[in-house]
Amino acid sequence: MARRRALWVVVVAVAILAAGLTVWLSRDDPAHIAVDVPDPAALSYDRADNPPRTIVRDGTGAVVAVLTDDARTAVVNGPRRTFSEPKSTSATVDTSAWVRLLPRPWRAGAETDEWFREWFTPTRTDTRPDVLATAMEYVIDAPEEKDAAGVRFRGDASFGPVKPSGSGRQEQSDFYDYLGIDWKFPDAPDGEPETGRYGSVDCSGYVRLIFGYRLGLPLLGSNEEGDGLPRRAYAIADVGPGVELVPDGGTRATDYGALQPGDLVFFEVEDDPDTLDHVGVYLGVDDGGHHRFVSSRERINGPTMGDVGGASLLDGGGFYSTAWRSARRL
């Protein structure tokens, strides 16, 4: 019986390899099988403007992916899924967009490069957490998980500790505060977490947690231009990597058509009208037809796609929609 069972395992393994199946292992998720797809050379690659980008289509003409010049953010069409946060909003976002990071910034014609072929073929069927799913792993009641070193890398996050005055919560909680670990930056002193900020991320710290720590985009410790994601929202908007989609004109932005899921959206919500002081991640159009984002906020004490202390919308006449100023694709 044991020999039969072993033979059966070998037969199944050979069948899997013959079918072109790939087993993915990740610290974040249990193993799953992703089915390989046809060679990228069999697809068509069309060019579009504003911003310059490559539209990947299959044989039926359906869009498979969107790759933006000078950006690492790629939107790949995949299985539909729904994002929700019932404790803060009745709205949901149903989408087939899976937001992935390319190994390097995209350039026109890179579809013929070996690095792209090696990345794109398995990525088309990869169902591990992408930018959007990772962002939702820190909202209200999100389950926590620790890695092999005992570091809690996901789970319900707060915004920051209560201010000494008792009025509101403190900013300046970065991703390493949430994690409770030291971090070495290439351009600034090492980041050292504060005990009282454990489990907390402010708005830009949240973006850095998602794109940097979780998904591998280089991180800077300063607000200067460099090879990585700066610390503050205004610096990410001004000198961050990628492509500026909606320039800050000092007034409310309304260029919704420029956005795709995973883009960063920036707001002016505090005292200085010349400084962009809040950042979120665009999720897409919700079930009410509105443009919804997720960000870490003081009023609800942490990341949310909800409507506590202001609806998480770019359109309409609410607090955040009227404060939206700019957008960037990393």
Q: Tell me the mean pLDDT per 10 residues along the chain, length 330.
A: 39 35 31 44 92 97 97 98 98 98 98 97 96 98 97 97 73 95 97 96 98 98 96 97 97 97 96 91 98 96 96 96 98
Classify 186 as helix, strand or coil: coil
Domain assignment of residue 65, yes or no: no
How many other β-carbons are positioned within 10 Å of the β-carbon of residue 88? 18
Position 42 scores a pLDDT of 86
Q: CB under 8 Å to 153, separation ≥6 — which residues? A: 27, 28, 145, 146, 147, 179, 213, 214
What's the maximum distance between 2 C-alpha atoms anywhere in the chain? 75
Domain assignment of residue 64, yes or no: no
Dist. CA 266–CA 30, nearest whole Å: 35
Is residue 214 within 8 Å of residue 134, measured between CB atoms? yes
Q: Provide the CATH number for the domain around residue 211.
A: 3.90.1720.10
Query: How many domains are contained in the chain?
Result: 2
Position 191 scores a pLDDT of 96
Is residue 286 within 8 Å of residue 99, measured between CB atoms? no
Position 41 scores a pLDDT of 57
160 and 274 housed in the same domain? yes
Position 170 scores a pLDDT of 77
* pTM: predicted TM-score of the whole model, two decimal places: 0.87
Position 1 scores a pLDDT of 44
Q: Which domain holds residue 26?
A: 1-36
Domain assignment of residue 52, yes or no: no
14 and 158 housed in the same domain? no
Dist. CA 44–CA 185, nearest whole Å: 40
Position 137 scores a pLDDT of 98
Dist. CA 263–CA 292, nearest whole Å: 11
Q: CB under 8 Å to 63, separation ≥6 — which residues? A: 55, 56, 57, 77
142 and 12 housed in the same domain? no
Domain assignment of residue 71, yes or no: no
